[in-house]
């Protein structure tokens, strides 16, 4: 592979992926690359002809199937890690920056309305792609500009107005184009007040979510004017288990890996939830988690 001489990061074949996901589930990547920085990522995309390409951040909102992912997985956490203040109200965060790190920096800068991101267990790249949000706010309410990269390794600055954010989705990316940074604007205030807001949100999460157990966060999107967790709980499904996958007793829209769960266990449990909610409420729950890769063929 001649392109290896033109890159600086770590390249592996048949590389395990479960350790890169919050669910700790999934088969291997056929090829795996961890770039050193944004320019190295651009060099890799320009010179590597392996297909398809999948970008992975913190792996907090994905289910990787047991057969793994064909092609090349590019892991961004810990590489696209630059975080800097652009002016008194704006901060630039690359795709590999964790939401928790961004919030910490925003508190330091007295940005009082960034607290909603506290406790969201992902990176900025995933947050931009999924329009991550909580407690009545979403990240795209604060986006001024994004930086994207395409399959040719070309980096572009694009205005927020070029995209249409929705509930856990954003429309406007071209095929084989990914977010690599966001320029985010927040209201400036008092550092102590910003820290107080963060503490309150973290406490709410600790009280209502199984944050210390292996999960992907919310599995299903909330249907209009309702909550997936309420529907699942009212179906009596809390605590139900398939293999090593279990519906949380604390929050019905969380599926926990009890230690030995397979992706097939999770998918079977998801289907039970979908079927039961459909049968009782005539509502078809839509997954929020992104399912990647291939199932193991029997």
Indicate the burial class of 62 (C-beta count within 10 angstroms; 0-12, 13-18, 19 or more).
buried
- Options 3.20.20.80, 3.90.78.10, 1.20.1250.20, 3.50.50.60; CATH for 228-284 is 3.90.78.10
Tell me what percent of the residues of the chain surpass a pLDDT of 70: 100
Task: Say if residue 67's pLDDT is above 80.
Answer: yes
- Whether 1 has a pLDDT exceeding 80, the answer reads no
User: CA geometry: angle at 129 spanning 264 and 196, to 5°?
Assistant: 100
**Domain with residues 2-75, CATH architecture:** 2-Layer Sandwich (3.30)
d(Cα 75, Cα 174) in Å, to the nearest integer?
20
Q: Which residues are catalytic?
A: 168, 218, 288
| pLDDT for residue 297 | 76
Q: 218-262: per-residue pLDDT in tens?
A: 999 999 999 999 999 999 999 999 999 999 999 999 999 999 999
Q: Is the dihedral of CA 11, 262, 276, 216 positive or negative?
A: negative
By the 8 A CB rule, do 51 and 278 touch? no
- What distance in Å separates the CA atoms of residue 216 and residue 63, rounded to the nearest whole number? 8
Higher pLDDT, 65 or 297: 65
Each as own residue / partner, the long-range contacts of residues 164-171 (CB below 8 Å, 24 or more positions apart, any chain) are: 165/131, 165/138, 165/140, 166/131, 167/131, 167/221, 167/222, 168/130, 168/131, 168/132, 168/221, 168/288, 169/130, 169/131, 170/128, 170/129, 170/130, 170/131, 170/140
Residue-level pLDDT at 119: 85
Same fold, 2-75 and 228-284: no
Sequential DSSP letters for 119-178: T--SBHHHHHHHT-EETTEEGGGSEEEEEEEETT--EEEEEGGG-EEETTEEE-PPTTEE
Q: Is the pLDDT of residue 2 over 90?
A: no
What integer is the mean pLDDT of 201-214?
A: 94
Query: In degrees rounded to 5, what are phi and psi of residue 213?
Result: -115, 155
Q: How confident is the model at residue 65 (pLDDT cuts 50, 70, 90)?
A: very high
pLDDT at 88: 87
Q: What is the per-residue pLDDT for 181? A: 98
In the DSSP assignment, the letter for residue 111 is B
175 or 3: which carries more pLDDT confidence?
175
**Tokens representing 94?**
């690359």
Residue 271 scores a pLDDT above 80: yes
Question: What does the pLDDT read at residue 3?
Answer: 85
Q: What was the pLDDT predicted at 296?
A: 87
The 10s digit of each residue's pLDDT in 11-24 is 999 999 999 999 99
Q: Is the dihedral of CA 98, 99, 101, 106 positive or negative?
A: positive
Q: Which pLDDT band holds residue 162 (cuts at 50, 70, 90)?
A: very high
CATH number attached to the domain at 83-208: 3.30.465.10
Domain residue spans of the chain: 2-75, 83-208, 228-284
What is the percentage of the chain residues whose pLDDT exceeds 90?
A: 93
pLDDT at 298: 63
pLDDT at 76 > cutoff 70: yes
Query: Packing angle between helix 191-208 and helix 99-108, nearest 10 degrees?
Result: 150
For residues 291-296, average pLDDT: 94
């Amino acid at each position: 592979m001649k392109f290896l001489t033109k890159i600086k990061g770590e390249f592996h074949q048949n590389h395990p992926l479960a350790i890169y996901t919050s669910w700790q589930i999934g088969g291997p990547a056929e090829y795996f690359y961890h770039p050193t920085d944004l320019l190295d990522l651009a060099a890799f995309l320009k010179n590597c002809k392996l297909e398809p390409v999948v970008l992975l951040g913190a792996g907090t909102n994905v289910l990787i199937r047991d057969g793994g992912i064909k092609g090349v997985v590019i892991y961004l956490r810990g590489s696209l890690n630059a975080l800097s203040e652009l002016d008194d109200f704006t901060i630039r965060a690359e795709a590999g920056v964790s939401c928790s790190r961004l919030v910490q920096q925003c508190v330091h800068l007295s940005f009082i309305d960034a607290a909603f991101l506290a406790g969201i267990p992902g990176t900025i790249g995933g947050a931009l792609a999924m329009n991550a949000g909580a407690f009545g706010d979403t990240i795209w309410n604060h986006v001024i500009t994004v930086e994207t990269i395409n399959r040719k390794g070309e980096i572009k600055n694009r205005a927020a107005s070029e995209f249409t954010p929705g509930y856990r989705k954003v429309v406007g990316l071209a095929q084989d184009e990914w977010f690599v940074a966001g320029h985010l604007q927040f209201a400036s205030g008092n550092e102590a007040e910003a820290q107080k807001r963060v503490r309150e949100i973290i406490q709410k999460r600790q009280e209502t979510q199984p944050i210390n157990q292996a999960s992907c966060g919310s599995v299903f999107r909330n249907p209009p004017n309702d909550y997936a967790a309420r529907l699942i709980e009212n179906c009596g499904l809390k605590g139900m288990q398939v293999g090593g996958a279990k519906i949380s007793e604390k929050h019905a829209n969380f599926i926990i890996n009890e230690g030995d769960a397979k992706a097939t266990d999770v998918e079977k449990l998801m289907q039970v939830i979908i079927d039961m909610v459909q049968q009782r409420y005539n509502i078809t729950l839509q997954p929020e988690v992104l399912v990647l890769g291939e199932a193991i063929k029997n």
